[in-house]
């Protein structure tokens, strides 16, 4: 039975039929989704801000600044995406880099849970810094992944179905995240401390390698011939692209203000509110994934109908407010975490999907890898890294000065500050985007309210 027949009635197959896509390209896109599912599992387990890493770092005595460093390392390493993008443009060997540097980057995560066994006589601090070092090496090698797979996806997916394909992909990944999150949380909660991180990071490293291997059977398609680019000249071309740079500036500010507080939400839930691994996974990763399954296709349609500018504005404004739920936190109270990750996911799905769509639409085919790399470098370093470190520095400073020890603690003050700055950034920079639709923001808000009110009225 051929691929087309097996996928009959599948939303992906409908999109492929719409553009009369060849079977080899369909197969490649399906393998990319398979790889992304494994990559999503890897991302839930492996990274500076994951539940598993927070637990391991806590066991090794990490403070607020250490959590900030762990979250910042992958974003600092994103600077390497610029030279990697020039290399990819020059050589057209995406698959080779994914199957070498990419595989090595993911395989290193097999070692993380084993560090205490490899260094049993070392202090907890040395073990923590060894983990930080390994994460740096992995992140540096893994920086090539983004400049390979995202432009690769763009070259495989026709523009007329790209937005809908991305929304279907996000829904599939969200469904997979529910299952993956439950397995990871159960493993962390049920296994003894001395082996839980060994098992979890062995799983994370394995699925990360499988993510890279899924690209092996994919067709390499390039929309432009190989180009010998000068790094500084290529970056200069990006800086001249005004619509693209408006997006970069806005998303950098958004990343900075979001990471100021976002990095510390799970440590706060675990260490201050006393939630278990399973509770954090259920009311954060899984709750947001289930919301994404439902709303992601709707955001794809709203982008087509109301334009990226309107969707970005409305979704970012509401998402900015959700950390304020943590002002009502108390030991054992699950509601702040649950509400932040459900109400927030309803809207940050829209902002993330819009940012991905705008990266592709605002970047020329012939220099897309460089544009994607520049976006990642600037937003990760000036946004994510500095935001994480700024949040950690503020928390450590307030703790040393014995500030905010009353009804509102230092973490809650940080959440308020982040919310105010995030809202200011959204109104200041999103409104500078070029209008890509005749609709107005209030038309989108009215549509959202009608969409929500219809089912509620029918239920009554």
Tell me: the pLDDT tens digits for 435-453? Answer: 877 778 888 888 888 877 6
pLDDT-derived band at 9, boundaries 50, 70, 90: low
Q: How far apart are alpha carbons 392 and 442 in whole angstroms?
A: 37
Top-level class of domain 22-221+228-454: mainly alpha
As to burial, measured by CB atoms within 10 angstroms (0-12 exposed, 13-18 middle, 19+ buried), residue 276 is middle
pLDDT for 275 beyond 70: yes
Percent of the chain scoring above 90 in pLDDT: 22
Contact by Cβ (8 Å): 200, 287 = no
The pLDDT, as a whole number, for residue 213 is 94
**CA–CA distance from 319 to each of 229, 325, 348 (Å)?**
39, 11, 6
- pLDDT for the residue numbered 458: 53
Q: How confident is the model at residue 423 (pLDDT cuts 50, 70, 90)?
A: very high
Helix then strand count (H, E) for the chain reads 23, 0
The larger pLDDT score, comparing residue 249 to residue 457, is at: 249
Is 94:156 a contact under the CB 8 Å cutoff? no
Structure tokens at 144: 């090539």
pLDDT of residue 8: 54
């Amino acid at each position: 039975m051929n691929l087309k027949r097996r996928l009959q009635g599948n939303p992906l197959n409908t999109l492929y039929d719409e553009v009369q896509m060849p079977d080899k390209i369909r197969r490649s896109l399906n393998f990319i989704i398979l790889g992304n599912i494994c990559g999503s599992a890897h991302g839930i387990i492996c990274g500076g801000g994951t539940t598993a890493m927070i637990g391991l770092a806590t066991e090794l005595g990490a403070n607020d600044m250490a959590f900030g460093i762990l979250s910042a390392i992958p974003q600092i390493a994103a600077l390497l995406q610029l030279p990697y993008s020039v290399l990819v443009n020059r050589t057209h060997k995406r698959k080779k880099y994914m199957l070498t540097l990419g595989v090595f980057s993911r395989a290193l995560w097999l070692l993380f849970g084993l560090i205490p066994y490899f260094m049993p006589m070392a202090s907890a601090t040395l073990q923590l810094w060894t983990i930080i070092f390994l994460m740096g090496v992995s992140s540096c090698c893994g920086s090539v992944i983004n400049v390979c797979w995202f432009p690769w996806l763009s070259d495989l997916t026709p523009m007329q179905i790209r937005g809908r394909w991305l929304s279907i992909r996000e829904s599939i990944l969200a469904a997979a995240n529910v299952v993956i999150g439950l397995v990871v949380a159960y493993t962390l909660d049920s296994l003894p401390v001395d082996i839980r991180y060994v098992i979890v990071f062995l799983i994370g490293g394995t699925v990360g390698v499988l993510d890279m291997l899924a690209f092996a059977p994919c067709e390499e398609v390039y929309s432009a011939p190989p180009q010998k680019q000068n790094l500084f000249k290529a970056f200069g071309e990006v800086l001249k692209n005004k619509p693209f740079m408006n997006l970069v500036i806005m998303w950098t500010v958004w990343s900075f203000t979001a990471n100021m507080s976002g990095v510390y939400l799970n440590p706060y839930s675990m260490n201050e509110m006393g939630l278990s691994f399973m509770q954090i996974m259920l009311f954060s990763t899984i709750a947001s994934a289930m919301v994404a399954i439902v709303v992601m296709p709707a955001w794809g349609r709203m982008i087509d109908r109301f334009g990226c500018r309107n969707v970005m504005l409305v979704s970012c404004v509401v998402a900015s407010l959700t950390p304020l739920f943590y002002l009502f936190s108390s030991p054992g109270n699950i509601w702040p975490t649950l509400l932040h990750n459900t109400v927030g996911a309803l809207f940050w799905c829209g902002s993330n999907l819009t940012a991905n769509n705008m990266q592709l639409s605002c970047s020329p085919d012939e220099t897309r890898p460089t544009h994607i790399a520049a976006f990642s470098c600037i937003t990760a370093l000036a946004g994510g890294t500095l935001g994480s470190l700024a949040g950690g520095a503020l928390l450590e400073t307030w703790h040393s000065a014995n500030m905010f020890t009353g009804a509102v603690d230092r973490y809650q003050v940080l959440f308020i500050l982040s919310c105010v700055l995030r809202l200011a950034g959204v109104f200041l920079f999103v409104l500078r985007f070029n209008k890509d639709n005749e609709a107005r923001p209030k038309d989108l808000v009215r549509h959202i309210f009608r969409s929500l009110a219809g089912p509620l009225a029918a239920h009554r």
